Amino acid sequence: MRSLVNGAAAAAASSADDHARCKFTGQSVRAVPIRVVTVGKGRSPGLRLLLDDYSDKLRQFCAVELVHLRSNPKNARDKRVQVRDEDISVSCLLRPDDWVAMLDERGMDIGSERLAELIAGAGNTGASKLTFCLGGPYGHGPKLRERADVSIKLSSMVLNHEVALVVLMEQLYRSWTILKGLKYHH
Ligand SMILES: C[S@@+](CC[C@H](N)C(=O)[O-])C[C@H]1O[C@@H](n2cnc3c(N)ncnc32)[C@H](O)[C@@H]1O
């Protein structure tokens, strides 16, 4: 057990040294507004505190909007119908010039520097908004899957939607500190 623990510590130390560099760090990056869309029930007070904290931090760098949509808006009994109804609600919010990222447990496995590059790169495409979408209890529907510019995995484990939202907010803040070359990320 001890050697396993030591091995894990060594691997963590070496991966910290090996942080890939972000090619946009220190460059002028367009601060495109970020919108985070979630689907679910109401938010707990603890979650709201964390969201307020990360939203305030992120607003140093760009405008931030959190949009919360009700899960199962038509009280469907069939989960496929629920996913379809939620898919329609989310898709109605999207504009043609949105750059859309879908958060999904089967998405692309990327590091924080790569997320920072995606944010900076999306700004260079002329997008007027960067929209990050978290799904409801049964995940995303086909319209969003078709529309999304990228699908991103936050962890190999499936996260509760509230936990996934906090991880995403922290990573968005981290991305901007990477782009600005601040000491938060090392
Ligand atoms: C409870 S999960 C839904 C899990 C469901 N099995 C699915 O297929 O998406 C609710 C939402 O949280 C987000 N989520 C949960 N785990 C995630 C992960 N590991 N990576 C990225 N997003 C995740 C996704 O947006 C997901 O749609």
Q: Are 151 and 99 in contact (CB under 8 A)?
A: no
With 80 as the cut, is the pLDDT of residue 96 above it? yes
Whole-model pTM: value is 0.90
Residues 31-74 pLDDT 10s: 999 999 999 988 889 999 999 999 999 999 999 999 999 999 99
Out of 20-29, 109-118, 160-169, least confident range = 20-29
pLDDT of residue 10: 43
| Cα(104) to centroid(ligand 1), Å | 5
What 153-157 contacts at long range (C-beta under 8 Å, 24+ apart), as own/partner pairs, is 153/103, 153/104, 153/105, 153/106, 153/107, 153/108, 153/109, 153/110, 154/103, 155/105, 156/105, 156/109, 157/105
| Cα(3) to centroid(ligand 1), Å | 34
Question: What ipTM goes with this model?
Answer: 0.98
Residues 120-157 pLDDT 10s: 999 888 899 999 999 999 999 999 999 999 999 999 99
pLDDT of residue 6: 44
Mean pLDDT computed over 180-186: 89
Q: Are 101 and 117 in contact (CB under 8 A)?
A: no
Q: Relative to the CA of 155, which ligand 1 atom is closest?
A: 19
Which 3 state secondary structure label does DSSP give 50? Answer: helix
Mean pLDDT computed over 164-178: 97
Taking the C-alpha atoms of residue 39 and residue 122, their distance in angstroms, rounded to an integer, is 24
Q: Relative to the CA of 161, which ligand 1 atom is closest?
A: 12
- CB-based pocket (< 6 A), ligand 1: 103-105, 107, 134-135, 137-140, 153-155, 157-161, 164
Residue nearest (by alpha carbon) to ligand 1 atom 8: 139
C-alpha closest to that of 138 among 92, 70, 76, 79 = 79
User: Who has greater pLDDT, 22 or 142?
Assistant: 142
What percentage of residues in the chain have a pLDDT greater than 90? 78
pLDDT of residue 3: 43
Query: For the chain, percent helix, then strand, then coil, each to nearest 5?
Result: 45, 20, 35
What percentage of residues in the chain have a pLDDT greater than 70? 90
Q: Which residues pair with residue 62 across a beta bridge?
A: none
| Cα(133) to centroid(ligand 1), Å | 10
Taking the C-alpha atoms of residue 114 and residue 122, their distance in angstroms, rounded to an integer, is 12
Ligand 1 probe mutation, 161, 162, 166, 167, most atoms within 8 A of CB: 161
**What spatial distance separates the first Cα and last Cα of the chain, rounded to whole Å?**
28
With 70 as the cut, is the pLDDT of residue 19 above it? no
